[in-house]
Structure formats: structure tokens, C-alpha cells
């Protein structure tokens, strides 16, 4: 994954302006900001609010409503482990807990060295071959104990 850019108000302005032609541009703008900066920077929120003619409070409410938008950049690697029913039926609960324990992280936590962020996800659409995860956007299926250890080793190496 490309490393997130440091905060740059001019860049943020360009991103916002590039989407203003869209109908209902808020989510595309927030996705694009996060894509560039690795999160939705606090400084960007009032800029988006004024561009869309909504209050800062309302914009804050929008950003915080959606699970995807981060207020802090994620770690270098993002591990999303499916916690939904299909994966549970195939031992996903235990595998998820095992990955968390091996990483020494709680859900939604980033390691102190900034290497790994662990998040739950509710369904990746690979429901016949769980337990599943998405590591830096790449799908990983049929995770057993060995697979869990390998996954953790790859992101902490």
C-alpha cells in the first residue's frame, strides 16, 4: 500500500474540488481524502463542510457514522478478520481470537510500532471457505491455526 501523504491543505482542497460536480459528493470526497492521507484528517472536516454547505457538526457526524473512515492513520498493514456467521460456522471466532492474541492486539487497535492494525469485518463474500480475512486488500481464505500463524508472521516480519 502507498504510504499516506502528510497533511497538505492545498491537496485536500484539490481533492474536494475535484468531486463537487457529483450528486451527493460527501462519501466520494471522504474516501478520496482517506485514500491520500490514510485517514480523514481533522483539518479537512471543516473544509468539506464548507464546500458542501453543511455545518461542521453535521460533517463530523457523517465522518464518524461510517466504520470505514479513520480519525487516525492505520498501521502499515491492515488485517481485517471476518467475524460474521458463515465464518463462525467454520471456527472463525477462535481463529479471529487467535490472530488477535498472536498480534497482541485488541480489535480496532494499532500496534505501538505502527506496523499492524487489526479490525473486524462483517463479511467478505467468501462464505464457503472461511475463516477469511483481508490483508492489505488481499483475500485470505480457509485460515487454520497454521494459516493464522503465517498471516501474523507476514505482517509483523
Per CB under 8 A, does 121 bind other proteins? Answer: yes
Per CB under 8 A, does 127 bind other proteins? Answer: yes
Residue with smaller CB distance to other proteins, 27 or 149: 27
- In whole angstroms, the minimum distance from the beta carbon of 110 to other proteins comes to 17
DSSP states along 75-140: -SEEEEEE-SHHHHTTTHHHHHHHHHHHHT--TT-B-TTS-EEEEEES--S-TTS-S-EEETTEEE
Considering only 10-18, 78-86, 97-105, 147-155, which stretch makes contact with other proteins by CB under 8 A?
A: 78-86
Per CB under 8 A, does 101 bind other proteins? Answer: no
Counts for the chain of helices (H) and strands (E), in that order: 7, 4
Phi, psi of 120 (to 5 degrees): -80, 155
Residue with smaller CB distance to other proteins, 65 or 112: 65
The cell 463530523 sits on which residue? Answer: 60
The footprint of other proteins (CB under 8 A) covers: 22-28, 30-31, 52, 61-62, 65-69, 82, 84-90, 121-130, 132, 134, 137-142
Amino acid at each position: 500500500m502507498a504510504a499516506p501523504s502528510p497533511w497538505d491543505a492545498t491537496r485536500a482542497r484539490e481533492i474536494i474540488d475535484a468531486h463537487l460536480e457529483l450528486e451527493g459528493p460527501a462519501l466520494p470526497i471522504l474516501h478520496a481524502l482517506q485514500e491520500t492521507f490514510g485517514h480523514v484528517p481533522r483539518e479537512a472536516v471543516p473544509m468539506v463542510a464548507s464546500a458542501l454547505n453543511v455545518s461542521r457538526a453535521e460533517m463530523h457526524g457523517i465522518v464518524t457514522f461510517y466504520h470505514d473512515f479513520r480519525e487516525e492513520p492505520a498501521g502499515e498493514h491492515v488485517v481485517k478478520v471476518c467475524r460474521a456467521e458463515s465464518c463462525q460456522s467454520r471456527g472463525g471466532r477462535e481463529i479471529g481470537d487467535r490472530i488477535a492474541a498472536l498480534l497482541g492486539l485488541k480489535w480496532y487497535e494499532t500496534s505501538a510500532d505502527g506496523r499492524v492494525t487489526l479490525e473486524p469485518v462483517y463479511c467478505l463474500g467468501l462464505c464457503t471457505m472461511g475463516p477469511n480475512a483481508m490483508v492489505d486488500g488481499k483475500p485470505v481464505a480457509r485460515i487454520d491455526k497454521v494459516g493464522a500463524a503465517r498471516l501474523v508472521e507476514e505482517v509483523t516480519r
